[in-house]
Amino acid sequence: MAPLLKAESIRHSYRGTLACSVADIGFTGGMISAVVGPSGAGKTTFLRILAGLTIPDEGQVWYRGDPLYRGIRRRRRGRTACDLAGMVMVFHEPHLFRGTVRCNLEYGLRLRRTDWPSREARITQVAGILGLQDALHWQVGSLSAGEAQRVALGRALVLEPGVVILDEPTANLDPVNIRTLETALVQACSEWNVAVVMVTHNLAQARRIADRISFFDGGRLQSTEPVEEFFCKSSTGKQRAFLEGDAVG
């Protein structure tokens, strides 16, 4: 199966310091990919390049077979007209619109001019998965951090995306909210064939829900492998040091 999202020969630097280097990686529907590594390893830069938010110095990202960037290594480099309607990104800090939970969940559907019955069915479905059925009329200003993050994820999932990109979506959340978000991601992956790419510092979380793990260090993608191989193989070096909580560098 061809990947929905693919990165090739990516290289990006900030002020002469390598921030992200990826030779080749693809993401297919129905799979959760966890991106791990020490702070400053290049994980968030990689996500931003995948999502079209940071133009790389070199390389290309392909979404559904179409190139995302043009003019790489030229003065007029930028984004192509690639349609990213099926890709969504959820950030570490949820940025919600003013109004109610329902207003946030239906915002993207209204922009797409989804008819009312389909809109209501999708909102009801996603609200149920995320435990937001009784909160639809709540003002977003009254939400806890965990509830706000659930709304942010719900606002993404109602759009029926092909790819969901998440940057530390459960950091600083309590166990109940973490489990709720994890359940929603697993269900979206398995039932809706979504490709999930998620940066996390929670290795237990990665082991619970990920199908494979990509390890970054020093700005470089060091390895990508099935989750159990990542945790169980008797490797040494930076990856093993990271798993054992030692300094990596």
List Cβ<8 Å contacts ≥24 apart for 44-49.
Answer: 44/167, 44/199, 45/12, 45/19, 45/20, 45/219, 46/7, 46/10, 46/20, 46/22, 46/216, 46/221, 47/89, 47/165, 47/167, 47/197, 47/199, 49/7, 49/10, 49/12, 49/20
Q: Is residue 249 part of a domain?
A: no
pLDDT tier, 85 (very low <50, low <70, confident <90, very high otherwise):
confident
pLDDT tier, 248 (very low <50, low <70, confident <90, very high otherwise):
low
C-alpha dist (Å) from residue 232 to 3, 71, 207, 236? 27, 42, 11, 11
Q: Is residue 248 part of a domain?
A: no
Q: Is residue 68 part of a domain?
A: yes
At residue 126, what is the residue type? V
155 contacts 143 by C-beta, under 8 angstroms: no
Structure tokens, 75: 């003065």
The arithmetic mean of pLDDT across residues 111-132, rounded, is 94
pLDDT tier, 118 (very low <50, low <70, confident <90, very high otherwise):
very high
Q: Share the mean pLDDT of the chain.
A: 91
CATH of the domain at 238: 3.40.50.300
Q: Is residue 127 part of a domain?
A: yes
**pLDDT at position 60, please?**
95
pTM: 0.91
The arithmetic mean of pLDDT across residues 106-127, rounded, is 94
Reported as a single tens digit per residue, the pLDDT across 155-185 is 999 999 999 999 999 988 999 999 999 999 9
Whether the per-residue pLDDT at 77 is higher than 90: the answer is no
How many domains, in total, are found in the chain? Answer: 1
Domain extent for 102: 5-243
What is the Cα–Cα distance from 33 to 226, expressed in whole angstroms?
A: 9
**pLDDT at position 1, please?**
73
**pLDDT at position 236, please?**
55
Whether the per-residue pLDDT at 11 is higher than 80: the answer is yes
Structure tokens, 13: 């630097």
**pLDDT at position 72, please?**
66
The arithmetic mean of pLDDT across residues 206-221, rounded, is 95
Q: Is residue 117 part of a domain?
A: yes
What is the Cα–Cα distance from 162 to 188, expressed in whole angstroms?
A: 10
Structure tokens, 166: 């998440």
Q: Which residues contact 76 (CB under 8 A, 6 or more apart)?
A: none
What is the Cα–Cα distance from 169 to 166, expressed in whole angstroms?
A: 6
